[in-house]
Every structure is written in C-alpha cells, then in structure tokens.
Amino acid sequence: MRICVFGAGAIGGHLAARLAHGARSSGVQVSVVARGAHLRAMQQRGLTVRARDGVLRCQPNATDDPATLGPQDAVIVTTKAPALGTVAAAIAPLLHGDTAVAFVMNGIPWWYHDRTARDGARMPALDPGEAVRRAVGIPRTLGGVVYSAATVVEPGVVEALAEDGRVVLGELDGSVTPRLIALADAVAAGGMGGQAVPDIRMAVWSKLLGNLMTGPICVLARRDMGTLLAEPTLREAAIRVGEEVVAIAAAHGFDLGGSVAARAGRSAGLRHRPSILQDLEAGRPMEVEALWRAPLGLAADAGVPAPTLALLVALASQAAEGKGCWAPGASA
C-alpha cells in the first residue's frame, strides 16, 4: 500500500514516522510532501520523532513536488486549513481512480455537510471557490482527526507529547469500508491508535471541544495549556467554553457526554502549546475559520448562545489579524 502524507510538519511528521515504523508488518510504502528546512533535514538526515513510547527514526521519500511520487493508494492530508488551496493545486499527480484522500485536520472540515441531510450546504470560507471539492471530490474523501500534541522542535525532529496518540478516520456517510479499515490498520501497525469509526462528525466535535477550550485563551495569554489551566479564573473560562461547545454539538445531534471539568483537568497536565498558538508565534496563517468561526456559525444556525466562546474568539481573532496571521474574508 502506497501512502503519502501531504503536509509533513509536526502532525504529519509524527504520522509518517508511525506509518514507516509499522511498514514491516503492514507493507506500507511511505512518502511525504513537505517544504522548507524541515524537508531539507528529512532529505539529508531522515525524520526523528521523540514520542512517549520511544524514539522513532525513518527515511521517508520526502519531496516538495508531488509529481515525483506518482499515484498513491491513499493520501493523508495533514496541512493546516489555510493551506488547502495549495493542496488542491498540487494533489493531482498523487491520485488515480481509487485513491482515498483522508483529511486529518483540526476544526470543522470543508466536507462537513456532505452525505448528510444537509448535503449541498456549503461553508465557503472553509473551501474558497470549492477548490478542494473540485480537485479531490467527495467519493475519494475520508474525514479524520488526530490526537498527537506534536511540535517541530528543530528541522527533521518532531516531539509528540500525547499519552494516547491516535488517528480517528471515517467515511462521510458512516459506512465502514475496506479502504477505511486498511488505512486505520496501517496507522495502528506503527504503534499509534488507528480507529475506523461509523460517525466521524462525532469525532470532529470531540476533538473540537478540546481545541476550543484552550486554543483562544492560549493565543490571548501566549501560554501553554498546563500553565493556563493552573490559573483558576482561566480554567473556569475554559470550562464555560466547553459547556457552550457541548450545547452547540448537542443542537446538531452529537452528544459529547462526559465532564467538561474533568477534560480540563486532564489537559492541565500537558505542557503543550496548541498548534494555533505555535502558528501565531511563528507568524504563520492561523486556522481561525475552521477552528473558531465555523463552530460559531453552526451555533448561530442552531440558535445556541455561546457568549464566552464568541468573546474569546473575537479577541483572539484580533490578535491573529494584528500579527498578520489571518484576515477577514482571506481565502485558503
């Protein structure tokens, strides 16, 4: 099975290393599309991932030109949402008739309404000009979320802090297909949880709950999750955001269950800077639309008030705009 990880930064690098680690049993051939110093380091010295269960080293076929890799059996897209336009423009050489494309990303995905009762509804800010829809198409598309807490600590080296690192994958219509199981098994062979689930949107909301509880506040405070949640007032604000997100998800048919306060307690032990904060500090485009504004749009659609989330998103969006990392109406 030929698998390309498109966007092998922190998350993509961790995932590529897991796939390569499991290749002896799974038979997977791994390639990555990356850029910049991280790509050059992988080409020269290989990829190193320092994870809680050990150090993984591999030498994937790394390039910034997908045309050199040829058609794949599966492509796993792990770019940030603002880079999807670049993916759409470059992905064609990786595709043949049966290639599956799994979008393993944060936030509300561009395909969210497809294969549901609202099929045909669009959220234009998530796929400007429908570039991804045209380039990939719904029949190829799988949804996905990842728990990794990964950071590129130097070119070619990724640190992954999550104790329960896993990738959750699903078909948009809820079916559990051979291609879905094969891709999840390839991930699991590398020692990272690989789950094929019948309701990928539930997984999207579950991941989004954690992203929203800490992301906007971390951006405003410029602090890691553990430090932030140790402060009682900020912890209470995070819990209120979580309760609002649970209500939004419930209004759309997704019961997230569990205790929001308990989730905050688990995150309090993680000295991880959320990826959206890492992007702000590095001056990179931020996932403001997919992670922050799209959930608020879904809240408005359902008539669910989310005042704490709305306030924090408004403030954090100003921080992103002020740093040049996002602009209202900017395309991917």
Contacts of 94 (CB under 8 A, 6+ apart): 4, 6, 66, 69, 70, 71, 72, 75
The phi and psi torsions of 31 (rounded to 5 degrees) equal: -130, 160
Whole-angstrom distance, CA of residue 236 vs CA of residue 56: 38
Longest C-alpha distance within the chain, in Å? 54
Q: Strands 157-160 and 100-104: what pairing?
A: unpaired
169 close to 142: Cβ distance less than 8 angstroms: yes
Residues 312, 316, 321: CA angle, nearest 5 degrees: 150
Residue 79 to residue 167: CA distance in whole angstroms: 15
Specify the 3-state DSSP secondary structure of 101. Answer: strand
Q: Cβ(72)–Cβ(100) under 8 Å? A: no
Q: Cα separation of 32 and 36, whole Å?
A: 13
Tokens, residue 42: 């992988």
Q: Which residues are catalytic?
A: 207
SS3 63: strand
Task: For 252, list phi and psi in degrees, rounded to 5.
Answer: -100, 10
What is residue 148's three-state secondary structure?
coil
Q: Is-contact 287 276, C-beta < 8 A?
A: yes
